[in-house]
Structure 1
Amino acid sequence: MLIVRPSRLSDLAQVERMASASGAAVHTLPAHRDKLFEKISASVHSFDAEVDVYGEESYFFVLENTATGVLHGTSAVVAYTGFSEPFYVYRNDIIVHASRALKVHNRIHVLTLSHDLTGDSQLCSFYVDPELAKTHYPRLLSRARLLFAAQHPERFADNMMSFLPGVSDATGRAPFWEGVGRKFFGIDYVQAEYFTGVKEKTFIAELMPHYPIYVPLLSDEAQQAMGQVHPGSRVPFNILLEEGFEADNYIEIFDGGPVIRAKRENLKTIQQSKVIPTRRGRQMAGEVWYLVSNTAIHRFRAMLLQLPAQLPDVLTLASQVADALELDDDDEIRIVPM
């Protein structure tokens, strides 16, 4: 049985294995033991904290096979992007250049370094083992954190965002980085992403250009990479698009990958999930896949269940399912159809 639960410090070795497999481009899951320890520790404290107004909390989840104890994926939510360090994106803007004498009126696409998304809640750190990529489990792993947000809205912002890795090749060469970042940093893209994951973000402010970048002056290769997602990130990208996220007016500053955003209240999992009471007994067979979670915080658990299309007012769950969800008698669950 595979469940999503909050990560704990004993997961560190397995999380480190997945971070190494995820590649350097996913800098929100750095293959750096000390940073991963900090990430899990911060999450443990966040799940344990009493929260009335969201702030520096971060919630890190893992996908566990309860029969073997093996972890197969990670996902996370940062409650307040840019709470403790700057968060930068490029905003797509238009500058008008006009000359009445020459009868010229040009609208020029420019990229402006921006803090606009500071304060959004960020979905990040998504990884799933390749053998599960074509199953329902990536959706469970991604959407479980939204079930958590639906149950505990006070812990999150009204806007949620995520950015996906942009285009790069097998050697780690990213066309957008070659056209922009390398000229100011003088290092490889992989090095820049690694530093973003393990160092303070002040180096970005120190080295990135603060004036608009005129897109027509970039190479065709760099322009074509803007807003394009890395092929290896198509699965999480498509899940979030299905959920209701949309490409906004922003791209990632290093590889030009897409930044997607949505109102929390408009997301399908938030809108369509509901809370119903449960009891233990003989579970009804069904033909519809549902995402199901308990309503707890630090004991949060989520899983997939096949249930009838028409749900009863009180859902009867098998004892092994109720145990996996850590439900007591008559506890409620939050449920949403796949």
Structure 2
Amino acid sequence: MLLIRPIQGSDFPALMTMARESGAGFTSLPLCENKLTQKIVHSEDSFNADVQAPGDQGYLFVLEDTLSGEILGVSGIEASVGLANPLYHFHKSTMVHQCKELDIFNPVEVLTLGNDYTGVSEICTLFLREPFRVGLNGRFLSKVRFMFMAEHPKRFSKLVIAEMRGAAGEDGQPPFWSWLRKSFLNMEFSKADYLIGVGNKGFIADLMPRYPIYVDLLPEAARDTIGQVHENTVPALKLLENEGFMHRGYVDLFDAGPTVEAQLKQIKSVRQSHRARVVINHDPLQCKGTSQLAVSNCDSKEFRATVSDECRLDTETHSLMMSPAMADLLKVTNGDSVRYLNLDKGAK
């Protein structure tokens, strides 16, 4: 069976493997042993904490094949970004140059550096290893975060964002970065990417432009990729757009990938996930359902989630019939509450 649970210390080798496989530009998985170890410890502390309001918590979930014990993917949530380290974005907006005397009205697009998303929650670190990008794995790994947020809303901000990886050229380098490096930063993309990943952002305030940048003055290749995603990120963006996330002009500093946002209570999987009471049944035929359901327990410290059609939902009694094996996996017993979400909804 597939199991999503909080990351733990023994998952470090798997996390290092995913950091290598994710490649440059995936700043939330830096190829740095110390930083990844810190992320695991921080996540363990966050899941164990008694939280009444969002703060400097970070939650990492891993997707495990319980038969092989192999870790297939990882996803995460930052409860409140920009508190310990500034979170910078460019915001693309329109500035008007007007001269009534000459009857000239000229709207121009500009990029402005800012910290407008300070304090919001961020879903991040979604990475599914390539051999396992099949079926509902990616959808399950993404949506389970919204189930956790729906169950524990006090831990998160009312606004949720996601930073999407920006478009890259044939050489693997973002065209936007090529212009930025030449104009402002004398360093390789891999170095800047690494510094961001380990939380060293001081150089941004020191070296980045302090005034609006006129988009029309950028090289065409850089201009055309503003707000565009990497080809490998297209499925993730579509999942979030289906959840109700929208792009409001904010882009990444280095690759110009879009940052999308949504109100927590308006996210589709938050609205469509519901609680039910556990009923354990030893007859597999009676437990057989008609849809693939993601089901999680309602705990934070011992959070567990799985996906299966081997459970039957009774909407009239608000109960979910499941096998003893599934109940054991979720660490629940008869009468306990679980949260469920139909993964077939919105499927292609």
Instruction: Calculate the TM-score normalised by the size of structure 1.
Output: 0.96
Q: Alignment partner for residue 304 of structure 1, among 303, 307, 321?
A: 307
1:263-299 deviation digits (Å, cap 9, x = unpaired): 0000011111110100211352122111111101011
Q: Alignment partner for residue 287 of structure 1, among 290, 304, 309?
A: 290
- 1:111 maps to 2:111: yes
Alignment of 1:1-338 (within 5 A): 1-169=1-169, 171-281=171-281, 282=283, 283-306=286-309, 307-308=311-312, 311=315, 313=317, 314-338=319-343
How many angstroms does 1:18 deviate by? 0.7
How many angstroms does 1:197 deviate by? 0.5
How many angstroms does 1:195 deviate by? 1.4
1:96 is paired with a residue whose SS is strand
CA 1:82 to 1:330, structure 2 compared with 1: closer, same or farther past 3 Å? Answer: same
Matched to 1:321, the amino acid is M
* 180-189 or 62-71, which deviates more: 180-189
* 254-263 or 321-330, which deviates more: 321-330
1:72-130 deviation digits (Å, cap 9, x = unpaired): 10100000010101000111121111223332111110000011111110011110011
Distance 1:242 1:100 in 2: 44
1:25 is paired with a residue whose SS is coil
Distance 1:102 1:191 in 2: 48
Distance 2:194 2:169 in 1: 16
Pairwise CA RMSD of aligned residues?
1.4
Distance 2:233 2:192 in 1: 19
1:271 is paired with a residue whose SS is helix
Unaligned runs of 5+ in 1: none
Distance 2:36 2:217 in 1: 39
Contact 1:182 1:188 in 2 (8 A): no
Contact 1:93 1:109 in 2 (8 A): yes
1:216-269 deviation digits (Å, cap 9, x = unpaired): 000111111011110111222111111111112211111000110000000011
CA 1:182 to 1:191, structure 2 compared with 1: closer, same or farther past 3 Å? Answer: farther
Q: How many residues align?
A: 338
Distance 1:309 1:240 in 2: 26
1:45 is paired with a residue whose SS is helix
Matched to 1:69, the amino acid is G
Contact 2:174 2:255 in 1 (8 A): yes
Distance 1:296 1:206 in 2: 43
2:292 is paired with a residue whose SS is strand
Distance 1:55 1:140 in 2: 26
Unaligned runs of 5+ in 2: 344-348
Matched to 1:334, the amino acid is R
Distance 1:14 1:41 in 2: 15
2:184 is paired with a residue whose SS is helix
Distance 1:312 1:62 in 2: 33
1:157 is paired with a residue whose SS is coil
Percent of residue pairs identical: 34
* 9-18 or 128-137, which deviates more: 128-137
Matched to 1:295, the amino acid is C
How many angstroms does 1:308 deviate by? 5.0
CA 1:268 to 1:101, structure 2 compared with 1: closer, same or farther past 3 Å? Answer: same
Matched to 2:334, the amino acid is D
Contact 2:278 2:333 in 1 (8 A): no
Contact 1:175 1:221 in 2 (8 A): yes
Distance 1:272 1:322 in 2: 22
1:134-154 deviation digits (Å, cap 9, x = unpaired): 310111111111100000000
2:210 is paired with a residue whose SS is coil
Contact 1:287 1:309 in 2 (8 A): no
CA 1:291 to 1:182, structure 2 compared with 1: closer, same or farther past 3 Å? Answer: farther
Distance 2:206 2:155 in 1: 32
* 213-222 or 304-313, which deviates more: 304-313
2:195 is paired with a residue whose SS is helix
1:11-50 deviation digits (Å, cap 9, x = unpaired): 1011100111011211011111110000010000000000
1:37 is paired with a residue whose SS is helix
1:62 is paired with a residue whose SS is strand
Distance 1:309 1:327 in 2: 16
